[in-house]
Amino acid sequence: MPTQPSQRAQKLMASPIRKFLPLVRQAEQRGIKVFKLNVGDPDLAPPPQFLAAIKRYHQPNLGYAPSPGIAEHTAAWVKYYAKFGVKLKPENIVPTVGGAEAIFLAMLSAADAGEEIIVFEPLYTSYKGFAVMANIKLVPITLKAENNFALPGAEEIEKKVNKKTRAIVIINPNNPTGSALSEKEIQAVIKVAKKHNLFIISDETYREIIFSGRPDCLLKYPAAKDNVILVDSVSKRFSCPGARIGCVASYNKDLMRAILKLAMIRLSAPTLEQYGTIPLLENSGPYTKKITAEYRRRRDAILAGLKQIPGVKTQKPRGAFYLIARLPVKSSEKFIKWLLEKFSYRGKTLLLTPTAEFYVTPGQGKNEVRIAYVLNCAALKEAMEVLKVALEKYNK
Amino acid sequence: MPTQPSQRAQKLMASPIRKFLPLVRQAEQRGIKVFKLNVGDPDLAPPPQFLAAIKRYHQPNLGYAPSPGIAEHTAAWVKYYAKFGVKLKPENIVPTVGGAEAIFLAMLSAADAGEEIIVFEPLYTSYKGFAVMANIKLVPITLKAENNFALPGAEEIEKKVNKKTRAIVIINPNNPTGSALSEKEIQAVIKVAKKHNLFIISDETYREIIFSGRPDCLLKYPAAKDNVILVDSVSKRFSCPGARIGCVASYNKDLMRAILKLAMIRLSAPTLEQYGTIPLLENSGPYTKKITAEYRRRRDAILAGLKQIPGVKTQKPRGAFYLIARLPVKSSEKFIKWLLEKFSYRGKTLLLTPTAEFYVTPGQGKNEVRIAYVLNCAALKEAMEVLKVALEKYNK
């Protein structure tokens, strides 16, 4: 028998967002158009300044970037955060390989093997994967769709705290729910974190993509100054996930020292993209306003479409570009498989993401899907019509 | 007291290769030229095809690359390996964020927390960091400079194997020693791996940079087909570490499934650089031959310079662009600090890397330095003269 991989690698699930791709390919080979609403991979073009800046790169070498970031790049993050009322110094920031690496470094620096991090489920799946990689236990608090996925009060959160708890994760605006935190919810998290000396890993990848209220940043809360580990990314706000640029930021000096030591092990984030994102970070407003208006139109289009489908329940997202819909099916996973293998309407079908994998607790979210509205309004409208016909047929 | 980072983050050492940078900056501010022989960051320009390919990128979007790699990029790796007699399919390869991530994914997929991986010390420092991140214990076998850092026989290696052992790491050609493995050494490792069903993590980042004998690839050994996890990188052979492109490759299907699941968690390697490295991988020979000839000239220049310095002991490197020199000092770390803070000769000094951190065993390598010959022959010659004067003065 061949040498076997580690248990941690074996026990990981294949990405729920990506595992249907072979079925998609087969459907496409049969000539069927598949509306892909599964991945948070924006269809919008990034600001042209990005590629322009990369094309201006004229240094003879392409060396490692410094682990604390190329100075001009880190300075651009400083300038970017200043617009949200957050004053940072370069040493408060370490650029990362996308938001994904920012999450991983935050988790690694917050908790040791066997320790616990509190999360609110459903949550972005990579947290689960990184927890397996780092031997950290995620302790979930299940949010309710009926309650618009609102966080519970401090007392409820506190019930999950024990001696092994090291951090609480919040994702704001949220992937996959599209919710955004109220002041009251934020204060509850801060209260618990301060009382029990926990880190707050604040994932603000979708900061500007918010449809009511203003973009927020947890580093603005002085009470939580030493607790917050900010996780950020250029991927969504500048429609460039392929750039693999994000950052970790914190006022906690010991934490940043730890982050930098971890970052040195993997050397650096990509050099060209650190340059490419400088003009984007320095003047983010015009672009992020434009795309947020577009995502708002899409949200409204998709909600209007879902309203026409009997038995579908959803919430009105306040931010990001996702929503969770409860479908009148037993297993959204089986339904999606059926959509790709057996169904088409006018030569079209669609790909959604089953929500079960966004939960830590087994058995949750079985009849839910996450919809990423990364297609234009016309396509979304059509996709919702296809979904309506599909559910009618599936439930006949 | 502010919330404290995890133990694993705190117990990491700052990179020995990078920690002297503040002292370098201060020396430079005093007007002193510092010959930087510390980082494996080539001074050579990458092939012009790299930036040219990136500048040709004209897709409107910059989406995530697929986790198994952009098809054309993975195909370029397949073509590249074929030139070394290694037949791979795309599913045997997952592109990574530099060789660093390849190392980490290999270690994570080979060993669970608390398990062991055998390494030969001195070794590339990032292995130590990743082991801390993944809670894997590195079990070192100390190689001797007097013996040209040759590996021991199978029996010696086997003494370190126990029930928790999951893999053996080889780096060939080697960073930091510059040694290259003989057929006999390779067979000894394979013998132990097969007998005890261990993985061999074969780090071949410097494959073509070899001065005697031919570039080798462990995937060519049929006996080890299911044991080998190949770790690779474009950084050194194409002088582009800032591109952050590497790969993991293996014939072991279960292993590659595990690697792919791990890779999905962090989504993808950078999109532009996957395109940029296609022409490099497809026609690697002309460039790698040219730079290998240059590194050979440098090796000879640096060895000639070191020969002139009393009390310095070194070996003739067979590959990569490093060598380890034993200096007539008690602590190479203190000597390097002195070089930067107190010394200059004709307005010049130099930066080397203390070797202690390349060892897992505490106390090893205290009077050794690693020299990366990433400057041209004239500069190396001058740097060795500066080193000679420095050692005379230091030991007076």
SS3 A42: coil
Joined tokens for residue A386 = 């296809």
Size of interface A-B (CB pairs under 8 A): 254
Determine the Cα–Cα distance for residues A175 and A209; give it in Å rounded to an integer.
Answer: 11
DSSP characters over B327-354? -SSS-HHHHHHHHHHT--BTTEEEE-EE
Joined tokens for residue B29 = 């501010």
**Count of Cβ atoms closer than 10 Å to residue A347 Cβ:** 10
Q: Please, what is the Cα angle at B347 between B341 and B351, to 5 degrees?
A: 50
pLDDT tens for each residue of A363-395: 999 999 999 999 999 999 999 999 999 999 999
Contacts of A68 in chain B (CB under 8 A): none
pLDDT tens for each residue of A300-337: 999 999 999 999 999 999 999 999 999 999 999 999 99
Question: What are B141's strand-pairing partners?
Answer: B120
Q: Is the pLDDT of residue A18 over 80?
A: no
Contacts of B268 in chain A (CB under 8 A): 241-242, 244
Q: Is the pLDDT of residue A39 over 90?
A: no
Determine the Cα–Cα distance for residues A75 and B84; give it in Å rounded to an integer.
Answer: 44
Reported confidence tier of residue A79, pLDDT bands at 50, 70, 90 = very high
SS3 B365: coil
CA of B269 vs chain A CAs: smallest distance (Å): 7
DSSP characters over A230-275? EEEESTTTTT-GGG--EEEE-S-HHHHHHHHHHHHHT--S-HHHHH
Residue A392's contacts (CB-CB under 8 Å, 6 or more residues apart) are none
Contacts of B109 in chain A (CB under 8 A): 5-6, 9
Contacts of B198 in chain A (CB under 8 A): 3
Are A67 and B255 a contacting pair at CB < 8 A? no
Are B266 and A100 a contacting pair at CB < 8 A? yes
Q: Is A30 exposed, middle or buried (0-12, 13-18, 19+ CB in 10 A)?
A: exposed
Contacts of A64 in chain B (CB under 8 A): 39, 41, 241-242
Q: Where are the alpha helices (DSSP H) in A135-182?
A: 154-158
**Contact indicator for A298, A321 with CB cutoff of 8 Å:** yes
Instruction: Kindly report the CATH number that applies to the domain delimited by B59-283.
Output: 3.40.640.10
Contacts of A38 in chain B (CB under 8 A): none
Are B198 and A112 a contacting pair at CB < 8 A? no
**Contact indicator for B16, B354 with CB cutoff of 8 Å:** yes
Determine the Cα–Cα distance for residues A259 and B312; give it in Å rounded to an integer.
Answer: 37
* Phi, psi of A279, deg, nearest 5: -65, -30
CA of B340 vs chain A CAs: smallest distance (Å): 20
Question: Which one of 3.40.225.10, 3.40.1160.10, 3.90.1150.10, 2.60.120.10 gives the CATH number of domain A7-45+286-394?
Answer: 3.90.1150.10
Hunting for tokens 């979708």 — which residue is that? A206
Determine the Cα–Cα distance for residues A109 and B87; give it in Å rounded to an integer.
Answer: 40
User: Tell me, what amino acid is at A89?
Assistant: K
Count how many Cα atoms sit within 13 Å of the Cα of residue B362 in the half-sphere of its side chain. 1
**Could you tell me the pTM of the whole model?**
0.97
Determine the Cα–Cα distance for residues B22 and A332; give it in Å rounded to an integer.
Answer: 56
Share of chain A above pLDDT 70, in %: 99
Contacts of B126 in chain A (CB under 8 A): 265-267
Are A14 and B111 a contacting pair at CB < 8 A? no
Are B272 and A115 a contacting pair at CB < 8 A? no
Distance between terminal CA atoms of chain B?
Answer: 47
pLDDT tens for each residue of A153-191: 999 999 999 999 999 999 999 999 999 999 999 999 999
Are B254 and A65 a contacting pair at CB < 8 A? no
CATH architecture of A62-284: 3-Layer(aba) Sandwich (3.40)
Same fold, A7-45+286-394 and A62-284: no
Closest CA to A170 of A183, A162, A160, A181: A181
Determine the Cα–Cα distance for residues A38 and A40; give it in Å rounded to an integer.
Answer: 7
What pLDDT does A239 receive? Answer: 98
pLDDT tens for each residue of B31-63: 999 999 998 999 999 999 999 999 999 999 999
pLDDT tens for each residue of A137-161: 999 999 999 999 999 999 999 999 9
CA of A378 vs chain B CAs: smallest distance (Å): 19
Q: Identify the segments of chain B with pLDDT beneath 50.
A: none
What pLDDT does A17 receive? Answer: 66
Minimum CA–CA partner of B102 in chain A: A266
Are B265 and A100 a contacting pair at CB < 8 A? yes
Are B197 and A10 a contacting pair at CB < 8 A? no
What pLDDT does B16 receive? Answer: 64
Q: Is the pLDDT of residue A220 over 90?
A: yes
Determine the Cα–Cα distance for residues A179 and A320; give it in Å rounded to an integer.
Answer: 8
Taking every pair of Cα atoms in chain B, the longest distance, rounded to a whole number of angstroms, is 65
Contacts 24+ apart (CB under 8 A), B80-87: B80/B281, B80/B282, B80/B284, B81/B217, B81/B219, B81/B249, B83/B284, B83/B285, B84/B207, B84/B215, B84/B216, B84/B217, B84/B220, B85/B217, B85/B220, B86/B217, B86/B219, B86/B220
Are B2 and A226 a contacting pair at CB < 8 A? yes
ipTM metric: 0.96
Are B2 and A241 a contacting pair at CB < 8 A? no
Q: Is the pLDDT of residue A62 over 80?
A: yes
Are A258 and B10 a contacting pair at CB < 8 A? yes
Share of chain A above pLDDT 90, in %: 94
CA of B48 vs chain A CAs: smallest distance (Å): 9
Determine the Cα–Cα distance for residues B16 and A242; give it in Å rounded to an integer.
Answer: 31
Of A62, A113, A241, the CB nearest to B63: A241
Are A110 and B5 a contacting pair at CB < 8 A? yes
Determine the Cα–Cα distance for residues A234 and A269; give it in Å rounded to an integer.
Answer: 13
Of B244, B258, B270, the CB nearest to A9: B258
Are A264 and B63 a contacting pair at CB < 8 A? no
Q: Is the pLDDT of residue A16 over 70?
A: no
Task: For chain A, give every domain's residue range.
Answer: 7-45+286-394, 62-284
Query: Alpha-carbon torsion B81, B84, B88, B92, what sign?
Result: negative
